[in-house]
Structure 1
Amino acid sequence: MRADGRNWDKERKIEYITGYLKYADGSCLVKLGNSQVLCSATVEKRVPPFLVGSGQGWVTAEYGMLPCSTKERQVRESRLGRPDSRSQEISRFLGRSLRAIVDLVALREYQIIIDCDCLQADGGTRTAAFNGGLIALYQATRALLEKKIIDRDPIIELAGAISVGIVNSRILLDLTYEEDSQAEVDMNLVLTESERIIEIQATAEKIPFRYETFQRMFELAKSGIKRIIEETRNTIKSLP
């Protein structure tokens, strides 16, 4: 039994609170255990310069942490005078993972920016940001469809993300911060509903691990992602 009462093969409860922001084209507060990320979508009638005239849209993402989202205060990036490297890395992870399930041609020359602000961090914030970001993205694309700005749904299929790791020689699903800080192996996985791989981030923090171990971790993460996608689907169906 883990510190929060879960079995080794169980993820934390995920909760989506949609329509959280008044002015966003889509918004969702996602809660994953004690981790909380506020995700919002903004639609812009423009695309990056390399796509101008292509008839193709774009999806990008930005990730950041509030100063008191962790035990030690995070210095605001505006005070640092440069983007935080971890925030940049997660922003890229989110952008490319979301683009993988979007038909960019169907977006026409519109750009959707997904902003993910971590309110409280207790592990798994990048995976929570992906799952919440997808909800916000769905709301934004649905609004474009309803306004007849686009004529077909650009979201190809649903997807989900989760973490898995090895702590004290045991494979655990959906690591908390405490577990992640002790992990011998840490992996983040993003899969589509049809079980196609979007992203695998797997790192041996202490010692190398065998392919057979990777397979076991992958299968465990896949089972958790299936449940997350089902929760995502239920949330989308319940949207007003």
Structure 2
Amino acid sequence: MTEPAHGEAHGERLGARLNWLRAAVLGANDGIVSTAGLVVGVAGATDSRAALLTAGLAGLLAGSMSMAAGEYVSVSTQRDSERAALALERRELRESPEAELDELTRMLADRGLSRDVAREAAEQLTERDALRAHARVELGIDPDQLTNPWHAAWASFLAFTVGALLPLLAIVLPPADWRLGVTVGSVLSALILTGWSSARLGAAGPGRAVARNLAGGALAMGVTYAAGTLLGAVGV
């Protein structure tokens, strides 16, 4: 029973890493699209580098802080739920150990083990660490690796910031005549990369993901640029 448990743990850790990578790619994608839409919209109204830099930095900070706060709240709620589930499991093990042993046996048998092998495995796992066994098999939780809201918040903050820096730098660094073209080209290239990466991390074909990414980014920039141009024309 040792090898399957080790393999399962390894697979879960790999899955968790892939989920973090996918979340980082999506966070960067959000930073690219939202900041690009903002600065391109402002570029439609003015060619002032100071205005573009101010708008871009404001969007970067607001977006990254919003992402971090949202992720912190979400993951904190998840961790609270995990802790509550572990506390309930701990109480059930204390009050009804035989019923919990039968339950663990049944769950292992449902995974394909024979009844006798499942019973033996359940007894060995219970003797070694009953709470960990039930947490892993029944709840899908590792008691030693509960989700950390601060890690999630910082990861979201950094991913969004990295993504947002691309359109911000692309709009303020080139000469005025080149800004829009450089920004649009840089953003669409980056969206191809993030769309491809998210698809590959999810073991899906990249074609549709890239197309959706490009369409969403182009639409965001087109709408905000049109709005900015209109507002600039009427002198707002």
Fold-level similarity (TM above 0.5): no
- Which entry has the higher C-alpha Rg, 1 or 2? 2
TM-score scaled by structure 2?
0.31
TM-score scaled by structure 1?
0.30
More helix by share: 2
